[in-house]
Structure 1
Amino acid sequence: MSSSPAASSPSSAPAPSTALTRVRREPRRRLVALAVAVAVGLALASVHWLGLVAAGAAASLVAPTARRGVAYALGVGVLALVAFAVSLGPAAGVLPGMRPVIYVAVAAALGLPLLGSLARWVI
């Protein structure tokens, strides 16, 4: 029984899984990565609106499937809306009367993370 050189070469070994693949496969790692992605994304969104795109991209990248990535991005958008309403404090009661402006805020909070979630379809 002689071993062939091709069988023992490093190129025939299975490729090691990437860190992102491990995060997508293991629920505990995925939960931690999602929490970090949401926290960093919402922190960025408090500074600039592109943070919502980054939050959607980061949240969707840790999702096991592309469809779940879209759901994670929508969840980030809902959390951004809740954070916005909480940051207004007592003034949040007048939001229903500000219809044109609130439509833009809701559309941006849901649409921009969805735009970011397109990263999951690429990577």
Structure 2
Amino acid sequence: MSDLTSLLDRVRTEPRSHAVAVVGALFAGVALASVHWLGLVAAGALASLVAPTVRRGAAYALGAGAVCLAAFAASLGPAAAAVPGMRPIVYVTVGAGLALPLFGSLARAVAR
């Protein structure tokens, strides 16, 4: 268990390993979110675990949600032109895309 703690401490303090961990967490989070909506919670948890503080973990989780939403919008392709006419479901999509990763960022508060 101390090996994991020392690894997390190193990832949270060293700039190079921190950047690699954030990019890896975003990549894994987008991959998981493309398969199932629970991947959004995992994306927030993964992104926040590499954050140096709980507050920055919440910000990282919101960023992960924004990246997942951007990937989803890009995957729509030409059908994206019809999105403004689908207002109720768009609100649910954006709300879930931001709230679920934020919920996942609670993992950072638990794993101090």
Q: TM-score range by the shorter chain?
A: over 0.9
Letter in structure 2 aligned against 1:56: G
Distance (Å, rounded) in 1 between the aligned partners of 2:101 and 2:54: 14
Aligned residue runs from structure 1 range 30-49, under 5 A: 30-49=18-37
2 CA distance for matches of 1:94 and 1:71?
Answer: 30
Aligned partner of 2:75 in structure 1 is: 87
- Give aligned pairs, total: 109
Percent of aligned positions that are identical: 65
Cα distance in structure 1, aligned partners of 2:82 and 2:106: 34
Q: How does 1:21-36 map to 2 (within 5 A)?
A: 21-36=9-24
For residue 96 of structure 1, report the CA deviation from its aligned partner: 1.1
More helix by share: 2
- Tell me the equivalent position of 1:109: 97
Question: Which AA in structure 1 matches 2:36?
Answer: H
Corresponding residue number in structure 2 for 1:52: 40
Higher-Rg structure is 1
SS of 1:79's equivalent in the other structure is helix
In the TM superposition, residue 27 of structure 1 has moved relative to its aligned partner by 1.2
Output one character per residue of 1:7-50: Cα deviation in whole Å (capped at 9) or x when no partner.
xxxxxxxx886100010011111110011111011101110111
Query: 3-state SS of the aligned residue for 1:51?
Result: helix
- TM-score by length of structure 2 reads 0.93
Output one character per residue of 1:29-88: Cα deviation in whole Å (capped at 9) or x when no partner: 111001111101110111011111001000000001111101100001111111111100
| TM-score where L is the length of structure 1 | 0.85
